[in-house]
Structure 1
Amino acid sequence: MIDMEYVSTHGIKLRDIFLDKGNWWKLFLKHHDLIRISIILNVLKLLVCRTSFLGYHQFVCLTCSRSMRVPHSCKSRFCPSCGKKATDIWIKNSLNTLPKTTWQHITFTMPEELWVFFWLNRSLLNRIPLIAGTIIKDWTHSKGFLPGIFLAIHTFGRDLKRNIHIHLSTTAGGLSPCHTRWIGKAYFYHESLKNTWRYTIIALLRDEFKKGLLTLPPHLRHITSYTLFNSWTSQFYQKPWVIHLKGQSNNMKANVDYLGKYLKRPPIGETRIKDYDGTSVTYEYLDHSTKTQEIMTLPVLEFIARLIRHIPDKHFRNIRYYGFLSHKLRGKLLPLVYNLLKMNRGSTAKVSLSWRDMIRTTYRYDPLVCPRCKTRMVLESVVFASDSLITQHKEIAHGYFPLLL
């Protein structure tokens, strides 16, 4: 019997760090009242990914009777294995869909003192992608065209610390109002984008405070009136807001690959984890200010805490589409865009990758070919995850701990 469980191409697995010496459970039992349900469910999925707990497909060779069990995956974006598959699929589908034209990549950041408001008021994380997309749409509307925009919200930097920012890619041209011409290309002005972004973010926080909906961090709880909050936020008009515009490029793949690295995967790739000694984790990251690789070592529980806080809530969409790429308009407008740009389109059907495809691509062998007699193995049976396991996970996520009773 061959049992194909979780496979990592790197020596140190994220799952092993969580499981070793009960690290995850130590953190969970100590801080379970602070850990969101979505975090618990995604970590539990990681811990049982590609094990028999989630069920499995069993294949058999009809020639020699050799059998192979393929456990089911967890499909969590926090899982390195499932996240890589989701990333590869997203990249392939994006390259198959996005128009081949000039693109502009823009990064929207904010002063770090404001990050805490979005951390404490997580519903606001849903608002800032629309703000960034609307800024670009309004600006291009004044130039007489509708662009295609896709963007991603990130809550972390390379060092895993909090760092809320938006990565946005937009076509530098777009559709005319009558949808009969491609208008391009336009240039985006840094100062104008920065001023609008800064004003809109500050206005968002002020409006939420005025409605009584904004949770303040402990060090600002003394601010009880709108006048005081208005005065406190005024300082951010004098602080630097970094809006980075890369040079316009026809290399769409570079933008897609860059965003793809962060959309469907955990905040750190396993190849960046350099050492785990049972008490601390050492990992490397690229320091954007020095452009050099830096090394950081953290106690293991702090390392886990830094990772899990970036797990999004259920149904949260890290990537958004606007303009002619919006889900509402793309079916009608993308064919017009392809035609105006004289793009020969083949099939635009969504790409999917099976576990067999992934192994063939990564390891260069077919897992369904019997290693003994070289014939194709066939599906013998399917075993699904038990309802009791799923129910137990949900109970744990909601604070019920049967092991402690």
Structure 2
Amino acid sequence: MAEPASLQAVIRTCLDDLAATQTLSPRQWQVCHHVLACRTAALGGFALRCDQCEAEAVCYHACRDRHCPRCQRRTSLDWCERQRAALLPVTYHHVVFTLPATLNGWIEVHPTEIYDRLFETVWATLSAFAADPKRLDGQLGMTAVLHTWGQTLTRHVHLHGLVPGGAFSASGEWHPAKSTYLFPVRALSRHVRGGFVSRLRQAAQAGGLPRLTDPKEIDRVLDTLMRTEWVVYSKPCLVHTETVVDYLGRYSHRTALSDRRLLSFDGEFVELSYKDYRDGDRRKVMTLSGAELLRRFLLHVLPKGFMRVRHFGFLANRCRTRRLPEIRAAIAALAATTCPVTAGHEAPTPTFDGYPCPSCHTGRLRVRAALAPKRRDGG
């Protein structure tokens, strides 16, 4: 009987095969073991019993690893709920900055350094454009999310940003952007390219990229980057203000691979569903060996502790509590009507009343005992 198609099944079957052909980092091993243990006896859980028909069931704990496709939906919903207090009654803009594939080799050996400089350069570019008196003449805000994958799980590093359409001036005024226009993407592309290459060159000269040891090769790569047209995307989010956070939530905690994209797994080969953006966004299916799918998935394991969601400008955590009321006042918006959830008026958390019973469909499964984590057999 074929193994059910899931990332957990692929790891269980193919991890040893992959490890035999390439060296995995301690962090990659850790993520694999977390996904393997997710919602199994290895993490413990609860024994449940229906209060009507006496049916029994078991509920195991989740691993809560940010790379696990089973654990991110609840995290994403919770994150979105916290962000609603920062909403402004303006048009938001979705911007995307993509790194050229030329940098993939450097990302392999220095991911933290490259990713940090991408965040830094994108924000420096957008804030400089916003501060220009000929444009918005004020401080911008942005929530940025790093993605490292494409639809086929190859390395495709890009930064999603959600930007309120306007800037807050030093004199306390709100300068709105045009509803369908933020900044020219060609100018953004050139500015980001120059700033990013300059930061990489400085880092290499200061020894911040120690695994890159050939000065001529460093110069060659940087010169190639300067001759490449960088891809920048900008589009207004023409949706209701209250749904903007949900829009970003689709990106904030998305994992490189979801189980629903795995159509079948026979123990050796996997059928992967993907969207082909070069062919009218058509849904297609590709077949990969389980080891190859796992290799591609592990390309996107982030360094431990790395912050892939960051807030900048007047949305930065250190100043948003003070800035947002000032901005709302500046754009003459009443907090009670423009902010779905305001400080001190959080939606009440529902009281847990057990799980619906799948047997009788009328009772509730309630916890009768806690189950300790079960050690795996073997050495």
Q: TM tier, shorter chain?
A: 0.7 to 0.9
- 2:191 aligned residue: 196
Q: Which runs of 5+ in 2 are unaligned?
A: none
Matched, 1:335 2:294: no
1:74-104 per-residue CA deviation (whole Å, 9 max, x = no partner) reads 1112222212222233334334542231111
Question: Aligned equivalents of 1:96 and 1:13: distance in 2?
Answer: 36
Matched, 1:184 2:176: yes
Kindly provide the amino acid, as one letter, of the partner of residue 314 in structure 1. Answer: K
Matched, 1:166 2:159: yes
Change (3 A) 1:171 1:372: closer
Matched, 1:23 2:8: no
Question: Aligned equivalents of 2:43 and 2:266: distance in 1?
Answer: 30
Choose from 202, 209, 228 the match for 2:204. 209
Question: Aligned equivalents of 1:352 and 1:269: distance in 2?
Answer: 30
Matched, 1:315 2:305: yes
Question: Aligned equivalents of 2:85 and 2:256: distance in 1?
Answer: 26
Change (3 A) 1:353 1:183: same
Matched, 1:148 2:141: yes
Q: For 1:43-82, list aligned pairs within 5 A.
A: 43-61=32-50, 66-82=55-71
Give the stretch that moved more between structures: 193-202 or 135-144: 135-144
CA contact (8 A) 1:282 1:298 kept: yes
Change (3 A) 1:355 1:50: farther
Kindly provide the amino acid, as one letter, of the partner of residue 131 in structure 1. Answer: T
- 1:105 aligned residue: 94
1:291-347 per-residue CA deviation (whole Å, 9 max, x = no partner) reads 222322111101111012201122111111101111111121223334443342454
Kindly provide the amino acid, as one letter, of the partner of residue 175 in structure 2. Answer: I
Q: What secondary structure, in the 3-state scheme, does the structure 1 residue paired with 2:279 have?
A: coil
Change (3 A) 1:373 1:18: closer
CA contact (8 A) 1:89 1:353 kept: no
Q: What secondary structure, in the 3-state scheme, does the structure 2 residue paired with 1:81 have?
A: coil
Question: Aligned equivalents of 1:370 and 1:287: distance in 2?
Answer: 39
Task: Tell me by how many angstroms 1:40 deviates.
Answer: 1.7
Q: What secondary structure, in the 3-state scheme, does the structure 1 residue paired with 2:94 have?
A: strand
CA contact (8 A) 1:369 1:377 kept: yes
Q: What secondary structure, in the 3-state scheme, does the structure 1 residue paired with 2:233 have?
A: strand
Change (3 A) 1:204 1:74: same
1:263-304 per-residue CA deviation (whole Å, 9 max, x = no partner) reads 424312222222222221111211222222232211110111
CA contact (8 A) 1:153 1:164 kept: yes
Q: What secondary structure, in the 3-state scheme, does the structure 1 residue paired with 2:162 have?
A: strand
Q: What secondary structure, in the 3-state scheme, does the structure 2 residue paired with 1:100 have?
A: coil
Task: Tell me by how many angstroms 1:105 deviates.
Answer: 1.4
Q: Which runs of 5+ in 1 are unaligned?
A: 1-10, 358-365, 393-401
Identity over aligned residues, as a percent?
22
Kindly provide the amino acid, as one letter, of the partner of residue 182 in structure 1. Answer: W
Q: For 1:5-404, list aligned pairs within 5 A.
A: 12-19=5-12, 22-31=13-22, 34-61=23-50, 66-95=55-84, 97-124=86-113, 125-142=115-132, 143-179=136-172, 181-185=173-177, 187-214=182-209, 223-224=214-215, 229-230=218-219, 232-247=221-236, 249-251=238-240, 256-257=245-246, 259-291=248-280, 292-339=282-329, 340=331, 341-344=333-336, 345=339, 347-348=341-342, 367-368=355-356, 371-372=359-360, 374-385=362-373, 403=379
Task: Tell me by how many angstroms 1:371 deviates.
Answer: 4.7
Kindly provide the amino acid, as one letter, of the partner of residue 184 in structure 1. Answer: P
Change (3 A) 1:257 1:342: same
CA contact (8 A) 1:172 1:185 kept: yes
Question: Aligned equivalents of 2:296 and 2:351: distance in 1?
Answer: 30
Task: Tell me by how many angstroms 1:372 deviates.
Answer: 4.6
Task: Tell me by how many angstroms 1:231 deviates.
Answer: 5.5
Q: What secondary structure, in the 3-state scheme, does the structure 1 residue paired with 2:271 have?
A: strand
Change (3 A) 1:93 1:271: same
Q: What secondary structure, in the 3-state scheme, does the structure 1 residue paired with 2:310 have?
A: strand
Change (3 A) 1:324 1:373: closer
Question: Aligned equivalents of 2:32 and 2:175: distance in 1?
Answer: 47
Kindly provide the amino acid, as one letter, of the partner of residue 8 in structure 2. Answer: R
Give the stretch that moved more between structures: 69-78 or 329-338: 329-338
Question: Aligned equivalents of 2:47 and 2:268: distance in 1?
Answer: 38
Kindly provide the amino acid, as one letter, of the partner of residue 242 in structure 1. Answer: V
Question: Aligned equivalents of 1:63 and 1:304: distance in 2?
Answer: 44
- 1:360 aligned residue: none
- Report the TM-score when normalising by structure 1: 0.78
Question: Aligned equivalents of 1:97 and 1:232: distance in 2?
Answer: 40
- Report the TM-score when normalising by structure 2: 0.83
